[in-house]
Structure 1
Amino acid sequence: MNNIKRLRKLNDLTQKQLAEKLSRTQPYINQWEREERKPNVEDLIKMSEIFDVSIDEILGTVPLFSNAETYSTDSEQVLRPILGVVKAGYDLYCEENIEGYKPVDKKKAAGAECFWLRVSGNSMNSVGIFDGALVLVKKVPVENRQIGVVRVNGDEATIKQIIFNEDTVVLQPRSTDPTIEPLILKKEDFDNNYAEIIGKVVDVSFDPNDMLK
């Protein structure tokens, strides 16, 4: 699958504008994006220069959002997707899951795939992770008592402090609401794909004005 449409939108270009840059017509661009026609080598080279990415990324032969530092014109930042859901079996980066894109410092983005995830609920509000906030999730191992994102039984991912015990894994809320209880999983739940640790929360972003509403 090619990524021409995604890269075009990331660069704030219409099909007509991209066509003009490539000395092509808009129907050509539309056919490329619908995968009804393939761009030739010359077109690919030009697009790689326009989008500042490799040809492999245009063709979709490298993973999306794989830390290639090509998603922003700002030399200190890269763009990463904002996801509304993370569910089992979902293509995380399919269009219906992506709310938009948000910059990340290159140093924070380096070394592993990462994405923003919108928080739903107040199970972690006592540590500053509020309902509606964005957390930056990095696909790296989560150590004992760190905060991570866990997908359980095919449902949307949950953000919790992860506590590893001898036979269990406790998903511990850190909330001002005492009615929110921890979820206790067995180690084998992760072996049989009932549960999956997706990654570690490495940053939190929210608008403080939202707290006044």
Structure 2
Amino acid sequence: MTTDATTDLASVLDGARVLPVLTVPSPGSAGPLADALAAGGARCAEVTFRTPDAEQVLKTMAAHGGLAVGAGTVLTPEQAERAVAAGARFVVSPGFDEEVIAKCSELGVPVVPGIASPTELMRALRAGLDTVKLFPAEPLGGIPMLRALAAPFPQARFVPTGGIDAPRLSAYLAERAVLAVGGSWMATPAHLQRGEYEEIRRLTAEAVDRSTP
């Protein structure tokens, strides 16, 4: 898999360093959620395929126009195909799967596989990828684990995700190997169930501010 403008996550994120990771219980939340994220300064978002209506949520948010929206928790090539058909501009997986990577290459979209070990990172690099998701970042050891992986693989870029919250954001972003940080604290299912879009906007703005040099 070669890396070019269509398969490079950095090109899609276009400098954005905070990636809201969203599990959206109801498609009715998608429009107001996209508005709140964009109003908070977010330029991208990841809609996880963990709910029955994830495709519709992704489609609505992708149509918003103010966000580069990708699909997360993609486990199969068929899910990747459906996600891209719904408007996903990138695909994120919790683990490394050759068939998902091959499908994304065929579709011409960036794919960010999850890795949790040097072996998985080597497999990703061998597949032609230079950006991976360190997942679950905090349970794996957090920044010390990130540094341990980055040292022998200076060509790799990481999107650490999993257990990261607002207080930990700046420390991760200070790491040279980190492209962006994924996190769900900005817009949780509880926020959405309660309709707390102003709180989502506030938390997003706070995170974007912390990510800006």
When normalised by structure 1's length, the TM-score is 0.23
Q: Which has the higher strand share?
A: 1
Q: Which has the higher helix share?
A: 2
Structure ID, larger Rg: 1
